[in-house]
Amino acid sequence: MIEASNLTKRYPGGLEAVKDASFRIDGGQMVLITGHSGAGKTTLVKLISTIERPTSGSLVVNGQNLTALRRSALPHVRRHFGLVFQDQKLLFDRNALDNVLLPLQIAGLPHREAVRRAQAALDKVGLLAREKANPIALSGGEQQRLAIARAVVNRPTVLVADEPTGNLDAESATAILDIFADFHRVGVTVVVATHDQTWIERYHPNVLRLDHGRVVQ
């Protein structure tokens, strides 16, 4: 469960990207964050995933108030999130398998178990046959699927994405939609910031609509 109360993010210079946002996302829901360009979608995604910290207000995830935590505790909290962004931050000097292995290596998982889980994640997104390929050799859709595999390899309870289909052709975008829907069907909470109305047409998710930083729906 994710619950925000009067969540506000003010940047230097006085810009309030998110203003007094209050909402609740129950566990296992699929929620789309929509709104015009500059409405605050990306900022809200970063607040939910603890990449950014709010200026004021509270954010509670699974009963834990993240705004009250010390910064040193945030890396442990982030293990419950899988994060997918337009800039996938893939490592182009490592192959697909090694990219997915990285979070498990950081977590200290034994190598054999880490490889098994990384290969399972690649298989889930249809990339097991490309595990030895470097990201530069993958298409845009395949790179996004690789980013999703890395995001879910730690078996997060919440999958958060910012415009995951924004730079993809229609066929690749549909494949990404289906992958997110599959995770939602097995109980993962899915939160996606997007302009793509196809999500609403295909899956009828809950919608959190922003207008100039404020929640209006």
Together in a domain, 9 and 67: yes
Together in a domain, 64 and 102: no
- Mean pLDDT is lowest, of 5-19, 47-61, 72-86, 139-153, for 72-86
CA distance 147 to 17: 26
**Is the Cβ–Cβ distance between 122 and 97 less than 8 Å?**
yes
Surface-to-core class of residue 133, CB atoms within 10 Å of its CB (0-12 exposed, 13-18 middle, 19+ buried):
middle
Residue 74 binned pLDDT confidence (cut-offs 50, 70, 90): confident
21 domain residue, yes or no:
yes
**Is the Cβ–Cβ distance between 10 and 16 less than 8 Å?**
yes
86 domain residue, yes or no:
no
Together in a domain, 170 and 75: yes
**Is the Cβ–Cβ distance between 122 and 152 less than 8 Å?**
no
What is the number of other CB atoms lying within 10 angstroms of the CB of residue 150?
Answer: 27
pLDDT averaged over every residue in the chain: 89
Structural domains counted in the chain: 2
Together in a domain, 74 and 176: yes
- Backbone CA torsion sign across 81, 61, 6, 58: negative
CA distance 114 to 20: 41
pTM of the model: 0.89
Asked whether residue 87 carries a pLDDT value surpassing 80, the answer given is no
85 domain residue, yes or no:
no
Q: What mean pLDDT do residues 185-200 have? A: 88
108 domain residue, yes or no:
yes
The DSSP code sequence of 13-79 is TS-EEEEEEEEEE-TT-EEEEEESTTSSHHHHHHHHTTSS--SEEEEEETTEEGGGS-GGGHHHHHT
Q: What mean pLDDT do residues 196-205 have? A: 82
Together in a domain, 101 and 205: no
Residue where one domain finishes, among candidates 103, 121, 155? 155
Q: Can you give the residue range of the structural domain that contains 205? A: 1-80+156-217
Together in a domain, 163 and 180: yes
64 domain residue, yes or no:
yes
Q: In what order do the strands lie in the sheet with 64-65?
A: 16-25, 2-10, 56-61, 64-65
Together in a domain, 66 and 116: no
**Is the Cβ–Cβ distance between 119 and 196 less than 8 Å?**
no
Asked whether residue 101 carries a pLDDT value surpassing 80, the answer given is yes
Asked whether residue 215 carries a pLDDT value surpassing 80, the answer given is yes
Together in a domain, 15 and 49: yes
Together in a domain, 1 and 61: yes
71 domain residue, yes or no:
yes
Asked whether residue 217 carries a pLDDT value surpassing 80, the answer given is no
Contacts of 4 (CB under 8 A, 6+ apart): 21, 22, 23, 24, 47, 48, 57, 58, 59, 60
Together in a domain, 14 and 106: no
DSSP 217: -
